[in-house]
Amino acid sequence: MTPIRLREGFAGQDMYVIPRPILADAHRHPLVQPLYPTDIGWFPEARYHFRQRPKGAGQDHLMLCVGGHGRVIVEDQENHLRPGELLIIPRHRSHKYWAEEDDPWSIYWMHFLGDEANYYVERIPGPGHPVPVDRATQEEAIRLFRDCLDTLETGYTIPNLIYAAQSARHILSLLLFRNQAWPLEPLQERRQMQLAETLGFMRERISEPVHLEDLARHAGISVSHFSEMFREETGQSPMAYFTHLRIRQACRLLDLTSKHIKTIAAETGYGDPYYFSRAFKKVMGLSPGRYRAIKKG
């Protein structure tokens, strides 16, 4: 017997999918562009609720469970979503989710985009991983969801879309940065882990061509967000830091070996020895040859 599977259509539900042509105009507004909902809804006791997106969605997806239970699989990792928990499915990640048939979930949900979206997605411990929400935070988030839904009911005017965008930012900020059940320490620990992994990635590839996009992809975040995070943690841009790693290794080779400068250039990722000399002098203040000639120790 074929199982019953519903995308929507639940008694008492509330849902708005903002028309994409309207969003295309509205998202350029400076009060909308940072972060805005594209779809938002409330599904109470959503029995038989089921969605599957093999290629993921084009937006980040927040789910807040306030009753019942459900299951979420993101890229083969399954998690159980319970009352008083939220999760975020990042955009373009394959996923599947469904409500438990004997105790179906009641969920507020929102798809969102914007320049600031990654700041919120980064806050979660992993794609589709549940995060606890304290009761007071959940109650305030529900109020904000209801307020946003009630606003959109009156139409997709620019003032309403600005209000919805500000509400979406408030919801995410409340759940992820003012949530007493999910303190800031996990974010700080995760950033330290990302940084340590990135530095290891750099050290392993000193002799290879590495671009900023490669580093951001390895960290699993956008280029702009990665660059800002890296600068906050190290005081340097990622590529400036990587250049200093290469030049530091070149100094070691100049001090401890008799290898030709052209060879050292190649071993530190510089195919052009003249470009290597310019980069070396910019960092060290003198050419590789003059550096090697200095008596040290």
Q: What pLDDT is recorded for position 80? A: 95
Residue 244 belongs to a domain = yes
Domain count, the chain: 2
Per-residue pLDDT band for 1 (boundaries 50, 70, 90) equals: very low
User: How is the chain split among helix, strand and coil, in percent rounded to 5?
Assistant: 45, 20, 35
Tell me, yes or no, whether 196 and 147 share the same domain.
no
The domain boundary residue, chosen from 163, 182, 201: 182
CATH number of residue 247's parent domain: 1.10.10.60
Residue 5 belongs to a domain = no
Contact 246, 268 (CB under 8 A): yes
The domain boundary residue, chosen from 182, 204, 239: 182
Give the mean pLDDT of 141-159.
Answer: 96
Mean of per-residue pLDDT scores for the chain = 91
Whole-number Å distance between alpha carbons of 82 and 62: 14
Contact 276, 288 (CB under 8 A): yes
Whole-number Å distance between alpha carbons of 262 and 274: 9
Q: What percent of the chain has pLDDT over 70?
A: 96
Q: What is the CA radius of gyration of the chain?
A: 25
Least confident of 110-119, 180-189, 268-277: 180-189
Tell me, yes or no, whether 18 and 40 share the same domain.
yes
Tell me, yes or no, whether 178 and 243 share the same domain.
no
Tell me the residue range of the domain where 266 lies. Answer: 184-297
Give the mean pLDDT of 75-97.
Answer: 94
Give the mean pLDDT of 42-65.
Answer: 95
For residue range 258-277, what is the model confidence (pLDDT) as tens digits? 999 999 999 999 999 999 99
Using the predicted structure, report yes or no on whether residue 190 has a pLDDT greater than 80.
Answer: no
Using the predicted structure, report yes or no on whether residue 230 has a pLDDT greater than 60.
Answer: yes
Q: What pLDDT is recorded for position 297? A: 66
Tell me, yes or no, whether 189 and 282 share the same domain.
yes
Say which residue, 289 or 186, is predicted with more confidence.
289
Tell me, yes or no, whether 25 and 170 share the same domain.
yes
Residue 3 belongs to a domain = no
The domain boundary residue, chosen from 166, 182, 198: 182
